[in-house]
């Protein structure tokens, strides 16, 4: 048995292998409602053999969307649309998962293939919010600094979205606190300039993330796993870094987080990232060893042998693949054969294997 194809048990859930579909925005929803595109996108990765199939960053409120075309879980119609997709993923043997998110100051932007600049309210956009003032970059919307009531609404929105995720049949929820979105904006001193209970020192900057986790755990059953995605570093001087990530992650087991999905960057446009194959994997390993919590590794993992090495070296407990699974939805099947592992094929496709 290879490590990549060894099952992973968390709470009452057993993942058939350690390949997860990283949440990847499709920018193809209407009013937050996923459609046939999302069913085929997620369903094909489940058919392809992934252990966890995670739906994209799904907004907990309308103003939490990255773009007007993002999916959501702020109303029951959206939950009802997700339900058959979660059921299909589960029927193929994968764990249906969803990432809950709020984009903060990086909200109200165009879909990427139209340029990513801000969308004005008169064109279907909205007023964006953040811990402090200051747009992400030129052409992005100017945020309004959140007051205590607004912060409370965000916490309530995450709680309500988690409840709807459960109603839709998802079996794993990930909270998005990475890539420069709202929770990450509160974590980093580069974007959190507050001097109240929600900013300043480290403990106050991590407060919103911890309160969101607690709110989600209030409604997310004890029997189901909860993950947190973080950016381990801002790749920018004076920002959030690996040391602070370890300090945060050391507190997560006690508040009900089962795994930290370790990514990096996305907070500021002047970040300096050293990109290369597996460039973010060492962050997952450092956090795993220092904070004693399971981790997921991401970032240009593109081959079966590379994924196997990440796991056997102890850098992570699971790998999350993005672009490689866009190119090849059947990567898990191909990897299993390369590594000599047994991964059942759907009976409808068996004659091809």
Residue 181 annotated as catalytic: yes
Radius of gyration of the chain (CA): 19
Contact criterion met (CB below 8 Å) for 335 and 4: yes
Q: What is the pLDDT of residues 234-249, one digit of tens each?
A: 999 999 999 999 999 9
| Alpha carbons 290 and 312: distance in angstroms, whole number | 18
Mention the CATH class of domain 8-348: alpha beta
pLDDT for the residue numbered 285: 98
Beta carbons of 276 and 300 less than 8 angstroms apart: yes
Give the chain's mean pLDDT. 97
Helix (H) or strand (E) holding 235: none
Mean per-residue pLDDT for 192-211?
Answer: 97
* 211-229: pLDDT as tens digits: 999 999 999 999 999 999 9
C-alpha angle 198-286-106 in degrees, rounded to nearest 5: 40
**What are the pLDDT digits (tens) for 60-119?**
999 999 999 999 999 999 999 999 999 999 999 999 999 999 999 999 999 999 988 999
Cβ count within 10 A of residue 167: 15
CB-based contact 257:291 (threshold 8 Å): no
> From the candidates 181, 279, 330, 349, which is the catalytic residue?
181
**pLDDT for 260-276, tens place per residue?**
999 999 999 999 998 89
In angstroms, rounded to a whole number, what is the distance separating the alpha carbons of residues 319 and 306?
10
Alpha-helix runs per DSSP H in the chain: 36-47, 76-91, 148-168, 182-187, 202-205, 207-219, 242-249, 281-291, 304-312, 323-327, 331-339
Give me the residue label for tokens 């068996």.
350
Give me the pLDDT at residue 36, please. Answer: 98
Segment 298-318 shows an average pLDDT of: 97
- Determine the pLDDT at residue 353: 83
DSSP classification of residue 340: T
Name the pLDDT band for 307 (thresholds 50, 70, 90): very high
In this prediction, residues 3-20 reach a mean pLDDT of 98
């Amino acid at each position: 048995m290879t490590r990549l194809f060894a099952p992973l048990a968390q709470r009452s859930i057993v993942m058939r292998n350690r390949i997860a579909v990283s949440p990847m925005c499709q920018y193809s929803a209407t009013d937050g409602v996923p459609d046939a595109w999302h069913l085929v996108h997620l369903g094909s990765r489940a058919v392809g053999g992934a252990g966890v199939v995670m739906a994209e960053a799904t907004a907990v409120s309308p103003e939490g969307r990255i773009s007007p075309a993002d999916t959501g879980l702020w109303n029951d119609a959206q939950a009802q649309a997700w339900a058959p997709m979660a059921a299909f993923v589960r029927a193929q043997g994968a764990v249906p998962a969803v990432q809950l998110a709020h984009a903060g100051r990086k909200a109200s932007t165009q879909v990427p293939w139209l340029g990513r600049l801000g969308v004005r309210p008169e064109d279907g956009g909205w007023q964006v919010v953040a811990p402090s003032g200051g747009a992400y970059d030129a052409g992005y919307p100017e945020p309004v600094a959140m007051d205590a009531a607004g912060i409370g609404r965000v916490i309530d929105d995450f709680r309500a979205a988690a409840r709807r995720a459960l109603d839709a049949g998802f079996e794993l929820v990930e909270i998005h606190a990475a890539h420069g979105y709202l929770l990450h904006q509160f974590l980093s001193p580069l974007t959190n300039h507050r001097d109240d209970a929600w900013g300043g020192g480290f403990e106050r900057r991590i407060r919103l993330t911890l309160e969101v986790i607690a709110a989600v755990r209030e409604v997310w059953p004890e029997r189901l796993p909860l993950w947190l995605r973080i950016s381990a570093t801002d790749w920018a001087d004076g920002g959030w870094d690996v040391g602070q990530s370890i300090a945060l992650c050391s507190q997560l087991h006690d508040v009900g987080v089962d795994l930290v999905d370790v990514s990096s960057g996305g907070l500021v446009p002047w970040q300096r990232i050293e990109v290369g194959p597996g460039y973010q994997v060492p962050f997952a390993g450092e956090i795993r060893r220092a904070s004693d919590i399971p981790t997921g590794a991401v970032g240009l993992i593109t081959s079966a042998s590379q994924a196997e090495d990440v796991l056997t070296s102890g850098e992570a407990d699971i790998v999350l693949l993005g672009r490689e699974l866009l190119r090849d939805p059947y990567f898990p099947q191909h990897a299993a054969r390369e590594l000599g592992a047994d991964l059942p094929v759907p009976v409808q496709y068996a004659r091809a294997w």
